[in-house]
Amino acid sequence: MAGSRSVVMAALIANGAIAVMKFVGFLLTASPAMLSETYHSISDTGNQVFLLIGIRYSGREADARHPFGYGKAQFFYSFLVSVLLFGIAGWESATHGFHKIQEALGGGHAGPTTGTIEFLGFSYTPQIPFDPVYVNYVVLLGAIVFETWALWKARAEMRKQMDEYGWENYREAFSRTSDVTTLTALTEDTIALGGAGLALFGIFLSRQLGDPIYDAVAALLIGLMLMGFALALAWQNKRLLLGESVAPERQAEIRSIVASRDDVDEVHDLRTVFFGPGQILVTVDVDFELGLDTKEIEAAIDDIEDAVTAAEPDVLRVYVEAT
């Protein structure tokens, strides 16, 4: 889907720029929340690359080994993204925040500083003519602007699908859509915006109140939020990887199209499955009226296939079995 590709590209550009800025902010202040946000943005940037690979791979033509095409590649890469989002961004952020909370409760340093900073065994003292915490403020405010732009792109694409299929809210869209690329980008951009807000609030409180605990708590909350959304995203991708059927109302519409024909006596065993984003396979067993010869049945099957694909543009394959 062209819309999905543009959404992913927008998120890739935003997250790449934000990751660099957040890391600079962490190097200047050693803020736990800024390191959590750096993990987050690095993970998101890598995830967009995986999504682009999935889009490209799924566009390959069907062949003998994959007779229905490569559309499910997007389901696999989106599932992989959810695992990475949980393992890299979520777990690392949460554990880092938890350790910094322990340090803060024990009287150690856990928040933004202007003195000597230790990172990966190195010690250094930032030499800048102003309080480095302002770097964090500027970076996080910039991140909020970038993420808002990326979220707007993802939301516009999802709204278009909601209007097309008549979904009433985002919860229904989240559980119904087969466009996992847009779903993943929308989820990532939403939690990225929330994470930047949490980090900004935690750093601000730590600086104003002189207590590093708020910064550390923000880091932990960012990690827990990432893990929660990652699990939800993995669950939604699992349903498609395992071969979920289309919504019951859409199945009913397809059944009605087949059953409404004069030469059809009864419809048996209608089955549907997604084999790619917006790509549906339909199989149906049909009892035709007695008296039809072979040529008439073949013509009726062709008409049924044409009628179903005309009414449901997402249906790319229809197999009708005369019983």
**Can you give the pTM of this predicted structure?**
0.77
Q: Are residues 235 and 309 in the same domain?
A: no
**Identity at 265, one-letter amino acid code:** D
Q: Are residues 235 and 255 in the same domain?
A: no
Q: Are residues 121 and 202 in the same domain?
A: yes
Q: Are residues 84 and 208 in the same domain?
A: yes
Q: Are residues 204 and 300 in the same domain?
A: no
Rounded alpha-carbon distances, angstroms, from residue 273 to 69, 86, 286: 14, 28, 18
| Domain edge (last residue) among 241, 263, 291 | 241
Q: Are residues 253 and 228 in the same domain?
A: no
| Tokens describing residue 156 | 């516009």
Rounded alpha-carbon distances, angstroms, from residue 3 to 8, 46, 114, 188: 9, 20, 45, 17
Q: Please determine, for residue 116, whether its predicted confidence score (pLDDT) is greater than 70.
A: no
Q: Are residues 202 and 68 in the same domain?
A: yes
First-to-last CA distance in the chain? 37
pLDDT at 121 (0 to 100): 58
5-22: pLDDT as tens digits: 777 787 788 788 888 888
Average pLDDT in the chain: 83
pLDDT at 66 (0 to 100): 84
Q: Which domain range does residue 266 map to?
A: 248-322
- CATH code: domain of residue 298: 3.30.70.1350
33-52: pLDDT as tens digits: 888 888 888 888 887 888 88
Q: How many domains does the chain have?
A: 2
Buried b (16+ CB within 10 A) or exposed e, 205-221: bbbeeeebbbbbbbbbb
Q: Are residues 267 and 301 in the same domain?
A: yes
